[in-house]
A and B are shown apart, each in its own frame.
Chain A
Amino acid sequence: MSAVAAKPAAGGAMNPGAMAVGIILTLILVGICYVMSPGVGLMALIGVVIGGILIGFGTHFVPVGGAPAAMGQAPGIATGVAMLATGAGVAGLFGGAWAAETLPATMDPMMQLLIVVCAGGVGGGLMMAITCMMVNFLYVFGMGIPPASGKVANDPITGDSQAEYKSQGTEGHGLPFVSFVGGVIGGTLGGAGGTLIYFELLNLYQGALPDVMNVTAAQVLPIAVSLAGMFAVGLFLVNAVLTAYNITGTIEGPHDPKFKRWPRSIVASAVASALCGLCAVLIVVPLPI
């Protein structure tokens, strides 16, 4: 309890042994699902794992500077990475869920999946695009500060030099173009991942819950929507917080050296999503106890 001074040693190093164990663990969990609920349950779990990986990977792109960003001391958006990614992700989930509602039931399932996931992704990307644009708007027109990165000499996309636009005594400020693009990619991946989780679970619950609860398909709809939506939000938070741990809270975008830690996060998200997704699938499986 007296370890206030002990800073986390989360360096950039990978731990190959642990990652291998993580992958095996994921496969075991998927295997359990195959035994308990082959077919639709397994398909849903695979969708959840892919969705979780998309969220974990996407969160790395979101440029977040934390508290120093609010003083113009560090580049990025001045808020927490997990919650900003969640904000974009749930905005995408909102769009995706709406698209899922309005599609005709006769449509090809794969086509439905594609439309819903794209709608969710665009929703998340649009939210981040507006937010990032307004951040730069406020820095430039409200505070008279041009955007500058502290981690790279030149913007990898536009080639603009950064060092001389960095004011004295700071690490940079605002969102250089590469961070803006990163934010949009992050929002898109997060929105798509969250929507994929929601859509897979919704289909599973709509199909299986009427038998479990002995009611009609129309009656079960509000339960299925709520359950799938709640699981999507819960899984989103777990994956976003794990990624925030991975990058220790702040990142500038895809050009940041911390971005290279993404393989760790993918394995972590896969394990976490497989575990939580398995629980979500087992809700519709008759339990022995």
Chain B
Amino acid sequence: MEHIVFGIGITALAGALATVAGSAEDTESNIGSQGDPNSQVQLAPQMGFLHRIFNKAVAGEPPAYGLWCCLGAGLAWAFMAMQFNAVLAIVLGCVFATFVQGVYATTAYVGRTASLAKFGQPVYVDILKSMTTVTMAHAFIAIFCTVTLCHLINTALGHPFPLPLLGLIWGIALGAAGSATGNPYYGKERQYQNQKFGAGVPISASGNIVRYAEAGERNSIDNGWFTAKIGGSASGICFGLIVFLELWRTVVFEAINPWYAIIVGVIMILIFTVIDRYIEVWARKTYGPYTAPKEADA
């Protein structure tokens, strides 16, 4: 019984860490325009819309976060193998992983922008200096939380996988959850704030992203400020739920009977299915069909 209570405590802590990680991950990728909304930042200069948005296309978020978290975990593992204290080892590992992330971010921005020379898009050194540091700070939070939760899973809950492999698994899952949930909010709602609310962006409007702010020119920190409010929190909840429920059903029910953990998992899937169906029906009833065709302002 004590063992299960201890496990539930660790599970709650891991879930909380995952929520912070998911939130920081989405904000970081939105400030860097990583993931799919990147295509629009890349497209805009080609359509004649020069901008001052950070464009850090390292890879899709899942492989990129797979690397950062796996690297942080691997370095932490190496430091722990050298008899470092676990907390110090994790912090040091995440610092080096964040350094790698920052270097990749600068080379990605400079490379992508230099390849757009034909369309007159300049490389802004001030963007490089101010945005990279902000993304690094968010990335450090995301990596540190993920590596810490992997360490908890490995040492406190006794998962058989070594730390680097857990880092790979949860890094890829973090990127997948964060990009799936957070990307549309940045891509549609923020980049295309000039388009109609409550409708997808017409394909004819592609590339016409918002480039000016309330005062002056929009930069990517404004984007992080905007998306952190809904996109970031939603990504955090998404990853937090995944980690918490996955651990919780195993910690509580696996010891009683392995089948219970599976049955509980199936029940949770059914509950989420019902919630999803409710959201869909609610949206169809409340918003109604798009009756009159709208003008696509290109």
Direct contact, A vs B (beta carbon within 8 Å): yes
Interface pair B246/A126, CB less than 8 Å apart:
yes
Min CB distance B156 to A, Å, is 13
A207: CB under 8 A from chain B?
no
Interface pair B36/A90, CB less than 8 Å apart:
no
Interface pair A146/B280, CB less than 8 Å apart:
yes
Q: Count B-side interface residues using an 8 Å CB cutoff.
A: 86
Interface pair B265/A122, CB less than 8 Å apart:
yes
Please pick, from A73, A80, A118, A130, the residue contacting B238 in the complex, using a CB distance under 8 A. A130
- Contact A91:B276 (CB < 8 A) given known A80-B60, A131-B242: no
B112: CB under 8 A from chain A?
no
Query: Which of A78, A135, A136, A176: most chain B CB closer than 10 A?
Result: A78
Interface pair A147/B184, CB less than 8 Å apart:
no
Min CB distance A78 to B, Å, is 4
- Contact A102:B184 (CB < 8 A) given known A134-B237, A167-B200: no
Chain A residue at minimal CB-CB distance from B164: A226
Chain B, residues 167-193, CB within 8 Å of chain A (1/0): the string is 011101101110111111111110110
Main secondary structure of the interface of B (DSSP, over half): helix
Q: In the assembled complex, which residues on chain A have CB atoms less than 8 Å from the CB atom of B198?
A: 143-145, 167
Interface pair B199/A168, CB less than 8 Å apart:
yes
Q: How large is the interface on A (under 10, 10 to 19, 20 to 34, 35 or more residues)?
A: 35 or more
Please pick, from A73, A119, A134, A170, the residue contacting B261 in the complex, using a CB distance under 8 A. A119
A66: CB under 8 A from chain B?
yes
CA distance A138 to B189 in the complex (A): 11
Task: Give the tally of cross-chain contacts (CB within 8 A).
Answer: 286
Q: In the assembled complex, which residues on chain A have CB atoms less than 8 Å from the CB atom of B203?
A: 68, 73, 169-171
Chain A, residues 76-97, CB within 8 Å of chain B (1/0): the string is 0111100110111011011101
Please pick, from B158, B176, B294, the residue contacting A88 in the complex, using a CB distance under 8 A. B176
- Contact A167:B250 (CB < 8 A) given known A177-B280, A184-B273: no
- Contact A73:B200 (CB < 8 A) given known A78-B35, A90-B172: yes
Interface pair B204/A169, CB less than 8 Å apart:
yes
Q: In the assembled complex, which residues on chain B have CB atoms less than 8 Å from the CB atom of A98?
A: 159-160, 250, 254
Interface pair B62/A123, CB less than 8 Å apart:
no
The stretch that binds A, out of B90-98, B131-139, B284-292, is B284-292
A197: CB under 8 A from chain B?
no
A129: CB under 8 A from chain B?
yes
Interface pair A131/B181, CB less than 8 Å apart:
yes
B224: CB under 8 A from chain A?
no
Q: In the assembled complex, which residues on chain A have CB atoms less than 8 Å from the CB atom of B166?
A: 94
| Extra 18 A-B pairs, beta carbons < 8 Å, given A130-B241, A132-B272, A146-B284 | A69-B184, A70-B186, A70-B188, A73-B206, A84-B180, A88-B176, A101-B159, A119-B261, A126-B242, A133-B275, A133-B276, A135-B184, A138-B234, A167-B200, A167-B202, A169-B204, A169-B296, A233-B168
Closest CB pairs A-B (n = 5): A169-B202, A87-B176, A72-B200, A70-B187, A122-B265
Residues of A within 8 A of B (CB): 66-73, 77-80, 83-84, 86-88, 90-91, 93-95, 97-103, 115, 118-119, 122-123, 125-127, 129-147, 158, 160, 164-173, 175-177, 180-181, 184, 221-222, 225-226, 229-230, 233
